[in-house]
Structure 1
Amino acid sequence: MEINYWSDKEKKQNPHGLDVREVYHHSNAQIMHIKLEPGDIVKPHKTPVDVFFVVMEGEIEFKIGDETETAGNEAVIHSPANITHALKNNGNIEARVLVAKTPSPK
């Protein structure tokens, strides 16, 4: 059994300047934990694999392709491979999201 805690992981360098930590990384999937303070954004970008977001705390505005919606706790959002996506915390409290990429990017 493998148990990982995001709070035990080191912060990863990233172009968004956010608290991003890799929680899990194997050939079939990669899971990152992202903490977004009010006003924080994940800049628009594409990934070569499918991405799933799980909102754990707060509300996050998701822009996937041409669609924009806000999702809160327990929401699961899918972004297909090679589609531009971005995230923003428009709220006044910290938001946290798990980002799962499958299969794991190289």
Structure 2
Amino acid sequence: MKITKAYDGELVTTKNGVKAQRIYSMPDGQVIHLTFEPGARLDTHTTAVDVFFYILEGRAWIEVGEEREAADKDCIVESPKGIPHALENFSSEEILRVMVVKTPRP
């Protein structure tokens, strides 16, 4: 058995106030823990695999394709492969924590 805490994951990147930590990576999927500083944004990009975002803490603006919606704690948002998506911390005071699940691993 292997137990990994979200904050103990391998640091992948820290950019524009967004910290990314890989906490699971196997051929069948990948899990990334994102921590957004207040007002931080993960710019629009695409992935070659399906992705879903699980909001752990805070409130996010999430863009998938032409849609932009607010999502808060305990929401799951799906983003199909090849569709542009972006995330932004809704708050100017609180952090946002998001679990990103990619299937299969890109």
TM range (shorter): over 0.9
Which deviations, in whole Å up to 9, do the C-alpha atoms of 1:27-71 show, x marking residues without a partner?
Answer: 000000000111100000000000010000000000000000000
Shift of 1:9: 2.3
Q: Is the deviation greater in 30-39 or in 7-16?
A: 7-16
Fraction of identical pairs, as percent:
36
Q: Secondary structure at the match of 2:7?
A: helix
The 10-residue stretch of structure 1 (2-11 or 42-51) with the greater mean CA deviation from structure 2: 2-11
Where 1:7 maps in the other structure, the secondary structure is: helix
For these two proteins, the number of residue pairs brought into alignment is 105
Q: TM-score, normalised by structure 1?
A: 0.93
The structure 1 segments of at least 4 consecutive aligned residues displaced by more than 4 Å after TM superposition are 14-17
Greater strand share, structure number: 2
Q: What SS class does the counterpart of residue 3 from structure 2 fall into? A: coil
Structure-2-length-normalised TM-score:
0.93
Unpaired stretches in structure 2, ≥5 consecutive residues: none
Cα distance between partner residues in 1 of 2:70 and 2:33: 18
Matched position secondary structure for 2:70:
strand
8 Å Cα contact 1:62-1:71 kept in structure 2? yes
Q: CA deviation at 1:4?
A: 1.0
Structure 1 unaligned spans of 5+: none
Residue identity matched to 1:97: V
1:60-85 deviation line (CA, Å, top 9, x unaligned)? 00000000000000000000000000
Q: Is the 8 A contact 1:49 1:101 kept in 2?
A: yes
